[in-house]
Amino acid sequence: MERGTIVFHNDYHIFDAILNSLNVSEKSLGLSDSEFVSIYNYPRQELFHRLFNANHLWSYVCKEINKRDGSIGYKILNSNNNVNNLDAKDIYFALTMDDWSFAHWTEMNDIKNLSMSKGGNWIMKKPSYSTRNTAEKIILNFSKMGRPKDMLFGIVSCKDGPKYPNSHPLNSQWDKYSPYYPKHDATFGQQKSPSIYASPKSGHYSWTGVYDKPQGFWGSKSTLHAVPFLRDNIKPTTFSVAIPPKSYADRICMFINFPNGLPFRIQ
């Protein structure tokens, strides 16, 4: 499962209650957007955002782990911003963020470390809307980044450097801290497989998913920044279903067993 996937694993009864309050069948979560709106007369994405806002139900996937018994598990970032282990069997639903925006980022000291104040605080700033809107997403990075604990970060780049509104208190507080300008051949680590990277466009890497340590940066004017995956910082645009509910799988099996149509009506 990709890094950054939203996995629902807590309080299934609350998840079920949300669906019931909207008169939505759990089977419908696996429908296409067009199928869903034809039945319920509102976009399926609205429901997904409603579930996303119930943030105690889910966690971000940080890393897949192979357990000693041969089963699959995950390192996850929970609603308290702590990293825990999760068994794959405990996931009852999962969503992929097709894209996301953010409010704040932290400055980086180098390719592997965040900039930190003398008091050990992140150098958190709020870039301008135009800067955030044009920042290019490079990878999702799960590491300590010079901190005591692991954290999930989205590493983004600004082609011509960032702009910071002076009116925002964080920007004025950390004004003396400059952004990080990487060398042209800076890397996040060893390349695993060229097939998992996006094709360069005009020397840039394009965002098509989660990359694991891409190589190559492009010019002295570009800067790198780390976007922490905090609950009040990441704003998804749209979602796709990564793991449908088990009841949807049952629905698929039903239609396979009756290829010429069901011998009864579904109420």
C-alpha–C-alpha distance, residues 113 and 188, integer Å: 11
Are 225 and 107 in the same domain?
yes
Are 26 and 84 in the same domain?
yes
% of the chain exceeding 90 in pLDDT:
67
> Is 155 within a domain?
yes
Q: Closest Cα to residue 62, out of 138, 145, 136, 1?
A: 1
Q: Write down the residue that tokens 């279903």 correspond to.
A: 241
Are 42 and 72 in the same domain?
yes
Are 220 and 242 in the same domain?
no
Average pLDDT over residues 14-28: 94
C-alpha–C-alpha distance, residues 104 and 151, integer Å: 15
Are 133 and 168 in the same domain?
yes
Average pLDDT over residues 20-41: 93
Q: 48 Cβ partners below 8 Å, 6+ apart? A: 95, 238, 239
pLDDT at 186 over 70: no
C-alpha–C-alpha distance, residues 222 and 160, integer Å: 5
128-141 pLDDT, tens digit each: 999 999 999 999 99
Are 83 and 22 in the same domain?
yes
Are 164 and 207 in the same domain?
yes
C-alpha–C-alpha distance, residues 71 and 88, integer Å: 8
> Is 56 within a domain?
yes
List, in sequence order, every beta strand (DSSP E) within the chain.
6-8, 58-66, 72-77, 83-87, 93-97, 100-102, 105-110, 113-114, 124-125, 136-143, 151-158, 223-228, 234-236, 239-243
Tally Cβ neighbours within 10 Å of residue 19.
Answer: 17
Phi–psi pair at 46, nearest 5 degrees: -60, -40
Q: How many domains does the chain have?
A: 2
Average pLDDT over residues 54-76: 93
Are 107 and 229 in the same domain?
yes
> Is 77 within a domain?
yes
251-265 pLDDT, tens digit each: 444 344 444 444 444
187-236 pLDDT, tens digit each: 554 333 333 333 333 333 333 334 333 444 544 578 999 999 999 999 99
Q: Closest Cα to residue 176, out of 158, 161, 164?
A: 164
> Is 69 within a domain?
yes
> Is 111 within a domain?
yes
Overall pTM surpassing 0.85 (yes/no)? no
Average pLDDT over residues 227-248: 90
> Is 117 within a domain?
yes
pLDDT for residue 71 = 87
68-113 pLDDT, tens digit each: 888 899 999 999 999 999 999 999 999 999 999 999 999 999 989 9
pLDDT at 60 over 60: yes
pLDDT for residue 252 = 41
pLDDT for residue 68 = 86
Q: What is the domain range of residue 183?
A: 103-233
pLDDT for residue 202 = 34
> Is 1 within a domain?
no
> Is 266 within a domain?
no
Residue 13 binned pLDDT confidence (cut-offs 50, 70, 90)? very high
Specify the range with the lowest mean pLDDT, choosing from 82-91, 177-186, 235-244.
Answer: 177-186
Positive or negative, the CA dihedral 57, 60, 62, 64 is positive
Are 242 and 179 in the same domain?
no
Are 56 and 85 in the same domain?
yes
pLDDT for residue 150 = 94
Are 109 and 223 in the same domain?
yes
Are 128 and 143 in the same domain?
yes
